[in-house]
């Protein structure tokens, strides 16, 4: 498999992951719909939480990590040529594909129990954990290939190093945690440290996506090489101590837990601010006119949504809906960057034809404004004390302002989903029509 073919395969995996997440979202609705729930081939009461875990893991974890694989293979192709063959990429894709099967089967076969813990929700069954291992290991192979290029200071290499630190944290947690620990606590602590480091990975991916899109469309580096290097190195340095903490604090202690919370609180803002200011300056400069209108609008939406999430993060209370408001806006900003990355950089690179029109352009507005409304509604509700992870009467919607806030959240969520579905359907159809890559360049 050539590196260019590998890039296309990662693209298909990543967008396909969103399609799988969408199918499970539909099954979740069916599992709570009278009459229909009774004809499903599995017990709907047990399926709901398992289906929810599968939906979340594909819509966030697999989507982000497979996009990371696409970005690494794209960057690798720029250095060695798209026609270069890579056995590492082929093995990695096989492992990740096998892992995806392992992540799906427990929900469909009614295996194990679901745990909606932070960062990486799980199902307590060997098949699911085997799927996670294959997923992580496959991407680790590509990460090692990336690090071995010795391009120190470059975003892709730093991102690969951060990913390996995250895996190291998970491995250390596995070795330190008592085997007889209750499953909810065990799973939460197993992924606590590594999950926090993965947020540094996601931030690196966001900055890389912005850089690739701007460079491809305008020929301009919106961050100079020294500033870009400092930005990525800061991400790495803030995350570097993460794996050493397992030897300093009790893995079940509060000090251990607080370290990773503070690592995010103090480590992510500075690199994010540097990159955001750089992109803002570019978008306000005459050089931005070299980009087509849609690309400029998509970058603006990504920049605003991501930083809105950062602003909400400064005003968090761990018990109310300001927490999900923060991470939904941040994730929305990253997703918008990934969407325009695929449409302006990755798909043209793998020779997938893009046919633009009004419907194509509208997906960005639906998703961007929908996410802003969704997150803002949750934030306003949280300011009024609406608790997170609650539903029905537990929400205590006892005032008009609370009801309006949650209504804004719901309306925004529906609009964002429409945009997301448009992206998946349009992009998958283009990829499937693109044919095989046979050229030698």
Whether 393 is in a domain gets the answer yes
CB 337 within 8 A of CB 209: yes
Model confidence at 441, in pLDDT bands (50, 70, 90)?
Answer: very low
pLDDT tens digits, 116-156: 888 999 999 999 999 999 999 999 999 999 998 877 668 99
By mean pLDDT, which of 15-24, 115-124, 309-318 is the weakest? 309-318
Does residue 377 fall inside a structural domain?
yes
Query: Which residues make Cβ contacts (< 8 Å) with residue 267, sequence separation at least 6?
Result: 200, 234, 235, 238, 239
Q: Could you tell me if residue 388 is inside a domain?
A: yes
Is the confidence at residue 104, as pLDDT, over 50?
A: yes
CA separation (Å) from 51 to 105, 128, 185, 217? 10, 13, 21, 40
Mean pLDDT confidence for 299-325 = 89
Asked if the structure places residue 176 within a domain, the reply is: no
Q: pLDDT band for position 363 (50/70/90)?
A: very high
Whether 415 contacts 369, CB under 8 Å: yes
Q: How does pLDDT run across 252-285, given as a tens digit for each residue?
A: 999 999 999 999 999 999 999 999 999 999 999 9
* pTM for the predicted model, two decimal places: 0.93
Query: In which band, very low, low, confident or very high, does the pLDDT at 439 lie, cut at 50, 70 and 90?
Result: very low
In a domain, 371, yes or no: yes
Q: How far is CA 78 from CA 7, 103, 212, 340, in A?
A: 12, 32, 11, 19
| Lowest-pLDDT choice from 61-75, 118-132, 177-191, 318-332 | 318-332
pLDDT at 178 over 70: yes
How many domains is the chain built from?
1
Give domain status of residue 340, yes or no.
yes
Contacts of 277 (CB under 8 A, 6+ apart): none
Residue 385 confidence (pLDDT): 78
- Confidence at 432, pLDDT banded by 50, 70, 90: confident
325: in domain = yes
SS (H, E, C) 365-434: HHHHHHHHHHHHHHHHHHHCCCECCCCHHHHCCCCHHHHHHHHHHHHHHHHHHHHHHHHHHHHHHHHHHC
- Across 289-298, 318-327, 340-349, least confident range: 318-327
- pLDDT bucket at 436, cuts 50 / 70 / 90: low
Whether 358 is covered by a domain: the verdict is yes
Work out the average pLDDT over 244-250: 93
| 227-239 pLDDT per residue, tens | 999 999 999 999 9
- Is 296's pLDDT higher than 90? yes
Listed in sequence order, the residues at least 6 apart from 165 whose beta carbon sits closer than 8 Å to its beta carbon are 197, 239, 240, 242, 243
Q: Which residues contact 9 (CB under 8 A, 6 or more apart)?
A: 1, 89, 93
Domain around 385: 292-441
């Amino acid at each position: 498999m050539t590196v260019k073919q590998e890039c296309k395969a990662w693209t298909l995996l990543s967008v396909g992951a969103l399609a799988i997440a969408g199918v499970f979202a539909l099954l979740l609705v069916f599992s709570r719909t009278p009459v229909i729930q009774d004809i499903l081939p599995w017990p709907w009461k047990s399926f709901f939480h398992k289906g929810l875990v599968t939906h979340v893991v594909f819509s966030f974890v697999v989507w982000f990590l497979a996009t990371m694989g696409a970005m690494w293979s794209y960057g690798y192709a720029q250095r060695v040529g798209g026609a270069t063959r890579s056995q590492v990429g082929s093995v990695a894709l096989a492992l990740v594909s096998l892992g995806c099967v392992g992540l799906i089967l427990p929900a469909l076969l009614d295996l194990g129990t679901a745990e909606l813990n932070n960062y990486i929700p799980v199902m307590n069954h060997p098949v699911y954990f085997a799927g996670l291992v294959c997923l992580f290991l496959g991407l680790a192979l590509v990460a090692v290939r990336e690090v071995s290029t010795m391009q120190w200071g470059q975003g892709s290499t730093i991102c690969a190093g951060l990913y390996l630190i995250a895996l190291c944290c998970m491995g250390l947690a596995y070795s330190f945690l008592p085997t007889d620990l209750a499953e909810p606590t065990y799973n939460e602590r197993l992924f606590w440290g590594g999950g926090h480091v993965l947020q540094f990975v996601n931030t690196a991916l966001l900055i890389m996506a912005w850089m690739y899109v701007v460079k491809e469309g305008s020929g301009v580096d919106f961050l100079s090489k020294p500033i870009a290097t400092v930005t990525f190195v800061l991400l790495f340095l803030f995350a570097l101590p993460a794996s050493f903490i397992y030897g300093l604090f009790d893995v079940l202690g509060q000090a251990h837990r607080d370290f990773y919370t503070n690592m995010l609180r103090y480590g992510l803002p500075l690199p994010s601010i540097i990159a955001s200011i750089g992109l803002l300056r570019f978008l306000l400069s005459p050089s931005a006119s070299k980009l087509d209108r849609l690309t400029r609008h998509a970058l603006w939406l990504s920049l605003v949504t991501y930083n809105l999430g950062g602003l909400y993060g400064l005003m968090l209370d761990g018990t109310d809906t300001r927490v999900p408001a923060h991470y939904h806006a941040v994730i929305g900003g990253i997703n918008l960057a990934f969407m325009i990355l695929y449409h302006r950089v990755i798909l043209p690179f793998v020779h997938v034809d893009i046919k633009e029109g009004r419907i194509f352009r509208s997906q960005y507005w639906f998703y961007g404004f929908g996410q802003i409304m969704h997150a803002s509604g949750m934030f306003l509700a949280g300011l009024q004390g609406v608790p997170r992870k609650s539903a029905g009467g537990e929400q205590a919607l006892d005032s008009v302002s609370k009801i309006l806030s949650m209504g804004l959240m719901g309306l925004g969520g529906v609009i964002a989903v429409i945009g997301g579905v448009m992206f998946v359907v349009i992009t998958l159809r283009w990829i499937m029509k693109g044919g095989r890559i046979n050229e030698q360049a």
